[in-house]
Amino acid sequence: MEFKKTKGWLDWYANPSKPKFALPEGSVDSHCHVFGPGAEFPFAPERKYTPCDASKQQLFALRDHLGFDKNVIVGASCHGTDNRALIDALIHSNDKARGVATVNRQITEVELEKMHLAGVRGVRFNFLKRLVDFTPKEELMEITAKIAPFGWHIVVHFEGVDLPELWDFFTALPTKVVVDHMGRPDVSKGVNSSEFRLFIKLLNEYENIWSKVTCPERLSISGPQALNGEQNAYKDVVPFGRYLVENFSNRVLTGTDWPHPNLNNHMPDDGLLVDWIPHIACNSELQRKLLVDNPAKLYWP
C-alpha cells in the first residue's frame, strides 16, 4: 500500500554526527520507534499522522553508529494496536531489542504470551489527544490486569498540564509505571514550577514510578543551537533532566526517540542527542545507571 506522508512531515536525520560522548558499554536506547515500512507493515486506519518509513535495519544501523548496544522499541501510535512491525523488529534484533506494545481489551493471554516470547515487556497508555482516541480508564485497568501477571510494566505518555487529572489513575496502577519524556513539562515555566514539582512529588511518593529522561529536542524552546557561546544544544532542558537523574538515579532511562515523530521546527542530529546525556548525568556512576543498569533491570533482568 502507498502512503502519503502528513503535510509538513520532517524525515529523520540521514547522516547523524558521531557523538563525542562515548556511551558506556552495554548502553540501551530506551525509547525509539520503527515506522512500517508502510508497504510491509501498513499504518493503522485510525492513525493521526502518516510518517516516513523508518525500518528496523535503519534503527539498528543508528544504534551501532551512535554506540548503543540495545534498543527498547515503543510501538508508535501510527500503528495503533497493530504490533506486527514492532514484533518483526524484535525477533530480528538478535536479542538486542525489547518492546513496548499497544493493546486493547480484546487481547488474549495466548497473544500476550507470544508477545512476551518476542521480547515485549510493557504496554503503553497514551493520553495525547493529538495522537490517539480516548480510551476509558476501565478498559486500561482491564489491560493492566491482563499484563501484570507477565511482570510487564506500563508506559504512560501525557502532557505535564494533564497530570493533576491523571494522578489518581497513575497512582492506582499496580505495576511499575514508566513516564515518557519527564512528564512533558513546559520548560519555559522552569524546574520550580508547580507543574514540574507535582511530577517530582509523584516520583517521591511512588517508588514504582520511573521516568524517561528523553526528548530535549521536543521540549526545548532554545533549540539545538549553542547558547551564549557554549556548545551544548537543548540547554534549557538540562536542569529538568539533571534533577531527575540526580534525585531518582535508580529509576531513570534515556533514549533517542528516533525517528522523532511529529517534530515541526527541526529534526535533531541524533549524535547531538547523545552528546546531551553527559550534561544530565554528570559522572560515570550516574551514566552507567541511566544507560546500562536501569534498562537492564526492566528489560534484560
Q: Is 6 helix (H, G, I), strand (E, B) or coil?
A: coil
Non-local (6+) Cβ contacts of 188 within 8 A are 221, 236
Span interacting with ligand 0GY, options 73-81, 190-198, 199-207, 280-288, rule CB under 6 A: 73-81
Query: In the complex, what is the shortest distance from the CB of residue 231 to ligand 0GY, in angstroms, rounded to a whole number?
Result: 26
Q: In the complex with ligand 0GY, which residue's Cβ is closer, 257 or 275? A: 257
Pairing of strands 28-32, 70-74: parallel
Gap between the Cα atoms of 199 and 193, Å rounded: 10
* Helix 56-66, helix 270-280: angle, nearest 10: 50
Gap between the Cα atoms of 281 and 254, Å rounded: 10
Say how many residues touch ligand 0GY, by CB under 6 A. 9
List the interface residues with ligand 0GY, window 137-196 (CB under 6 A).
157, 180
Query: In the complex, what is the shortest distance from the CB of residue 78 to ligand 0GY, in angstroms, rounded to a whole number?
Result: 6
Q: Counting contacts by CB under 6 A, is residue 131 touching ligand 0GY?
A: yes
Which of 96, 101, 31 minimizes the C-alpha distance to 277? 31
Catalytic, out of 29, 53, 180, 257:
257
Q: Which burial class, exposed, middle or buried, applies to 117 when counting CB atoms under 10 A from its CB (0-12, 13-18, 19+)?
A: exposed
Rg over alpha carbons for the chain, rounded to the nearest Å, is: 18
Span interacting with ligand 0GY, options 53-61, 71-79, 165-173, 281-289, rule CB under 6 A: 71-79
Gap between the Cα atoms of 173 and 9, Å rounded: 35
Q: In the complex with ligand 0GY, which residue's Cβ is closer, 24 or 49? A: 49
Q: In the complex with ligand 0GY, which residue's Cβ is closer, 184 or 286? A: 184
Span interacting with ligand 0GY, options 72-80, 111-119, 158-166, 203-211, rule CB under 6 A: 72-80
Q: Counting contacts by CB under 6 A, is residue 76 touching ligand 0GY?
A: yes
Which of 86, 194, 103 minimizes the C-alpha distance to 155? 103
**Cell digits of residue 8:** 509538513
Q: In the complex with ligand 0GY, which residue's Cβ is closer, 77 or 144? A: 77
- Of these, 29, 82, 217, 257, which contacts ligand 0GY (CB under 6 A)? 257
Catalytic, 270? Answer no
Q: Counting contacts by CB under 6 A, is residue 77 touching ligand 0GY?
A: yes
Q: What are the beta bridge partners of residue 97?
A: 71
Q: Is 32 helix (H, G, I), strand (E, B) or coil?
A: strand
Query: In the complex, what is the shortest distance from the CB of residue 82 to ligand 0GY, in angstroms, rounded to a whole number?
Result: 13
Q: In the complex with ligand 0GY, which residue's Cβ is closer, 78 or 213? A: 78
Q: Counting contacts by CB under 6 A, is residue 262 touching ligand 0GY?
A: yes
Main-chain dihedrals φ then ψ at residue 179, nearest 5 degrees: -90, 130
Q: Which residues bind ligand 0GY (CB under 6 A)?
A: 76-78, 131, 157, 180, 257, 261-262
Residues noted as catalytic: 257
